Chains A and B, each alone.
Chain A
Amino acid sequence: MKILMKGNEAICEAAIRAGCVGFFGYPITPQNEVPEYMSTKMAESGGTFVQAESEVAAINMVYGASAAGARVMTSSSSPGIALKQEGISYLAAADLPCLIVSVSRSGPGLAGILPSQSDYFQATKGGGNGDYYMPVFAPNSVQEATDFVQKSFEVAERYRTPVMVLIDGLLGQMMEPVEFSAPNIPQFDKSWAVGPRNGRERNIRNSLDLSPESLEQTNIRRFKRYDEIIANETRVESTVQDGDEVVVVAYGTSARIAVNAIEELGAAGIKAGLIRPITLWPFPNAAFQNLPASVKHVVVVELSQGQMVFDVKLAVAGKLPVHFYGRNGGMIFESPEIAREVTKIVRGE
């Protein structure tokens, strides 16, 4: 049965149905419906809700609760995610799973509260210290957001890593029909968790390692897990087919607008295909290999001054010209605007 729900609230409902037992958050627009929903529903489901004193405290509560073996999450928006970066680095370093929902707004600084995609770097390149990555899912609908919230817990626990679901304020605030699947998350081994021992060896969750020999090996082991994530969890949607002369690349909200732009281009006689990265890390590089010979241009459209475009350039590896079109600050392009820009590029104007 489909229910009409706001993105932010559907995310919460999906998390609770996926067995999330702890939410630690802090108010910031445009994600406030998340802690608000959780304050009631998490308690009703027998879980833990804490409104922390800061985003910093919230992510460290997640760190502690995850170390104790609980399936937990936090949410925030751009400046708040910036504050969580230290904690995300520690979670990655201590091999602790959790979900971080990022409902991005415009930046930099306090900036504005309207939707933006200027936190692609923040999500995929991290602001925490050290050699680490974090899987990032970028849904383009409320339905996908709920599906990926549930998938995120599985990925987080399977590979013992923090995972982010990145949406923007538009998807967070938008209401859409959503159907909750019955989540079937396997029971992963959590014999590493701290808590009552009942005779077992003691467990230590830690990121400190003052031995360079040991630390190097620990980091290499983590990167072997990253290799598995790249091999198993990379997701992309591609409509590119032989005859397309241009490939439009977009994720999340932008991808939905780009779909309409591609239809409009088709009606005007320009054949275009869409590559929609669904995981932003790992980035779906393979989707850019072996493009049809008909493709002459790649156009990246983002609600930013251009961030994902750099990953696209790496994936294309100089084989095709990569162009960019974006709006920022909370300004959102409409499909004719994208179609017009793509047309100019194709016609060499």
Chain B
Amino acid sequence: MGKVVYEKSAGLTDSPMSYCPGCLHGTIHKLVAESLVELGVLDRSVLVASVGCSVVAYQFYNCDAVQAAHGRAPAVATGIKRVSPESIVFTYQGDGDLAAIGTSEIIHAAHRGENITVIFVNNAIYGMTGGQMAPTTLITQKTSTSPKGRVENQAGLPMKVSEMMAQIPSSYYIERVSAHNVPNILKTKKAITKAFRNQIDGKGFSMVEILSTCPIGWHVTPVEATKFVESAMVPYFPLGVYKDEGEVRS
């Protein structure tokens, strides 16, 4: 008998993932699932799925789930956590959901210092609806609603969500990471685990922004997509810890 050195996380179901080839949602799902298992909270975790490609994330996470209206996941998570504080509640939101239609809900959940964990996946585009411009779409980046590339004097500059969230007095932990290569995937796992650990310890609002890809929406190969993250996204969306009250207060 061989020794098992690697297996699928118990935090994931056996449902085949519906994500496109080269999309990093699968990788990020795995990291979240592993964290929940390792922290021993999978059986009391509640996913709040948002609208976008991860709308069906409840099929893949092996925990309870509530599917929320577009942008409203932080409000739904607030409702769950307030009446069921023993639940480990997390939202999983893309940049269209969180950074456009859901800005009010995410900002105010942080302002209230809700003891929830937000997994924010930023791939600079609306993937599910076919590759439209998002608030996070980079200048000159072509999408189906910015066919000649995003223009500053029309759409403004891309929204820097982690920088904004770090300014909120009651947010506890805000970090931007990336899932485009192995060293960064390992850092992403650490950040996700920390964000859940904070909730378990009752510290308050934690958000991990994860830079991700959309090869189909970007019209590039999966390899080119990871290179775009490295060469174009990371320079505009610098990685790092934007706020960690645990560090400040310790």
Contacts and interface: CB of A to CB of B under 8 A. Distances in A.
B82 A61 contact: yes
B82 A48 contact: yes
Contact of A197 (B44, B67, B68, B79): B44
A26 to B, nearest CB: 11
Contact of B87 (A72, A195, A199): A195
| Most interface-central of B62, B72, B80, B111 (chain A CB within 10 A) | B80
B84 interface: yes
A229 interface: no
| Most interface-central of B62, B69, B79, B87 (chain A CB within 10 A) | B79
Contacts of B165: none
B76 A195 contact: no
Contact of A68 (B67, B79, B111): B79
A77 B20 CA distance: 44
A205 B83 contact: no
Given A68-B84, A208-B67, A197 B43 contact: yes
A82 to B, nearest CB: 15
A50 B78 contact: yes
B69 A194 contact: no
Interface string B28-68: 00000000000000011010110000011010001111111
Contact of A57 (B58, B62, B65, B72): B72
A196 B87 contact: yes
A196 to B, nearest CB: 4
Interface in A55-71: 56-58, 60-70
B197 interface: no
Contact of B55 (A64, A204, A208): A208
A273 to B, nearest CB: 45
A343 interface: no
A87 interface: yes
B82 A22 contact: yes
B27 interface: no
A202 B66 contact: no
A73 to B, nearest CB: 12
A57 B77 CA distance: 11
A65 B75 CA distance: 10
A70 B84 contact: yes
A21 B43 contact: no
A69 B63 CA distance: 16
B181 interface: no
Nearest to B82: A48
Contacts of B230: none
A60 B76 contact: yes
Interface string A191-220: 000111111001111111000000000000
A24 B114 CA distance: 14
A68 B66 CA distance: 9
A64 B79 contact: yes
B140 interface: no
A64 B66 contact: yes
A48 B111 CA distance: 17
Interface string A1-40: 0000000000000000000011010000000000000000
A39 to B, nearest CB: 14
State the main secondary structure of chain B at its contact with A: helix
B75 A64 contact: yes
A87 to B, nearest CB: 7
| Most interface-central of B63, B72, B76 (chain A CB within 10 A) | B76
B12 to A, nearest CB: 12
B105 interface: yes
A55 B83 CA distance: 19
Contacts of B58: 204, 206
B108 interface: yes
Contacts of B112: 50
Contact of A64 (B62, B77, B86, B107): B77
Contact of A205 (B55, B66, B82): B66
A57 to B, nearest CB: 4
A72 B79 contact: yes
Contacts of B81: 64
A86 B64 CA distance: 23
A64 B48 contact: yes
A77 B86 CA distance: 33
Contact of B82 (A50, A207, A208): A50
A22 B56 CA distance: 28
A52 interface: yes
Contacts of A205: 65-67
A189 interface: no
A86 to B, nearest CB: 6
B221 interface: no
Given A61-B75, A63-B76, A206 B82 contact: no
Given A67-B79, A207-B67, 6 more contacts: A50-B78, A70-B83, A90-B69, A194-B46, A195-B80, A205-B65
19 contacts: A22-B83, A48-B82, A50-B82, A56-B75, A57-B104, A60-B69, A64-B48, A64-B76, A64-B80, A64-B81, A65-B79, A68-B79, A94-B66, A195-B44, A195-B64, A195-B84, A195-B87, A205-B66, A206-B58
